[in-house]
């Protein structure tokens, strides 16, 4: 297992978002985390990546506890993450957005320290790999929503994480781009990267995932390969509403 939580709990006032969530994701695989709205998926991501602190429980990554480490330390440990709402610098070019990921100490420092030829070549290489090299000199705000999602992923990849958490990569993108994202995940996974994907598009989840974890009311209710999850009665009841 690469990323594992034990009894992770988080409440916001009287609302329990995570209720003792114990989850293990498989190393070297495409893992999916699904569940109805409000089931705790994004809160889980936020706790795992240090964006918020859980009230109790612990998280380990490759056997090392990361429960209360800050986000930059977790990123340095090898965990990259995208967000449901893209986090890009809208008035910076696509190339500068990717270069900003080279130095976790902040984007101004990152840009000053990331202008080496090797970093420029790597940044352009990721833009090319994701199919947006023609937008290298365009400001991020001029890009479509789907292109911004690819740009955010390029920035994550620039930091060379071993494990990548994607929060709703299919949200708001057109079918052609959706196919491209699915193919990219599979290509990058074949190169050795582990993925954990929060997603509502079941066609995408079932087509690219090796292992699926299902959340309901802040905790996992089922886990297994897509073929098993499709017919699990708990999933059909909680998530598919039948």
Please, is 92 exposed, middle or buried when counting C-beta atoms within 10 Å of its C-beta (0-12, 13-18, 19+)? middle
| Model pLDDT, residue 112 | 52
Sheet arrangement for strand 163-167? 79-81, 163-167, 194-198, 30-34, 211-216, 219-224
| Model pLDDT, residue 33 | 95
* Domain ranges, ordered by start, for the chain: 1-78+194-242
Sheet arrangement for strand 3-12? 15-25, 3-12, 56-61, 64-65
Cα 195 to Cα 241: distance, rounded to the nearest angstrom: 27
Contact yes or no for 123/98 (Cβ under 8 A)? yes
Class of domain 1-78+194-242: alpha beta
222 by DSSP, 3-state: which?
strand
Per-residue pLDDT 10s for the chain (242 aa) are 689 999 999 999 989 999 999 999 999 999 999 998 889 999 999 999 999 999 999 999 999 999 989 999 999 999 999 998 889 999 999 999 999 887 554 445 445 555 688 899 999 999 999 999 999 999 999 999 999 999 999 999 999 999 999 999 988 888 888 888 999 999 999 999 999 999 988 889 999 999 999 999 899 999 999 999 888 877 777 655 55
Residues linked to residue 194 through DSSP beta bridges, in sequence order: 163
| Model pLDDT, residue 27 | 94
Cα dihedral across residues 167, 197, 59, 71: positive or negative: negative
| Model pLDDT, residue 224 | 93
How many CA atoms within 13 Å lie on the side-chain side of 30?
22
Q: Count H helices, E strands: the chain? A: 10, 10
What is the end-to-end Cα distance of the chain in Å, rounded?
32
Angle, CA of 105, 121 and 196, to the nearest 5°: 60
């Amino acid at each position: 297992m690469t990323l594992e939580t034990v009894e992770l709990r988080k409440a916001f006032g009287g609302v329990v978002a995570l209720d003792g969530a114990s989850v293990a994701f498989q190393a070297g695989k495409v893992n999916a985390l699904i569940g109805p709205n409000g089931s705790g998926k994004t809160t889980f991501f936020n706790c795992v990546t240090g964006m918020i602190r859980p009230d109790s429980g612990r998280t380990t990554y490759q056997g090392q506890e990361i429960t209360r480490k800050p986000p930059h330390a977790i990123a340095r440990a090898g965990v990259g993450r995208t967000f449901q709402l893209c986090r890009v610098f809208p008035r910076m070019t696509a190339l500068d957005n990717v270069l900003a990921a080279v130095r976790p100490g902040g984007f101004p420092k990152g840009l000053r320290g990331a202008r080496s030829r090797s970093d420029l070549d790597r940044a352009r290489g990721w833009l090319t790999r994701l199919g947006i090299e023609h937008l290298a000199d365009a400001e991020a705000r001029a890009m479509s929503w789907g292109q911004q999602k690819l740009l955010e992923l390029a920035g994550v990849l620039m930091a060379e994480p071993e494990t990548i958490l994607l929060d709703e990569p299919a949200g708001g993108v057109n079918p052609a781009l959706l196919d491209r994202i699915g193919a990219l995940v599979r290509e990058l996974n074949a190169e050795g990267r582990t993925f954990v994907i929060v997603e509502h598009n079941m066609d995408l989840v079932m087509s690219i995932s090796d292992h699926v974890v299902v959340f309901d009311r802040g905790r996992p209710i089922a886990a297994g390969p897509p073929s098993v999850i499709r017919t699990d009665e708990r999933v059909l009841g909680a998530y598919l509403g039948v």
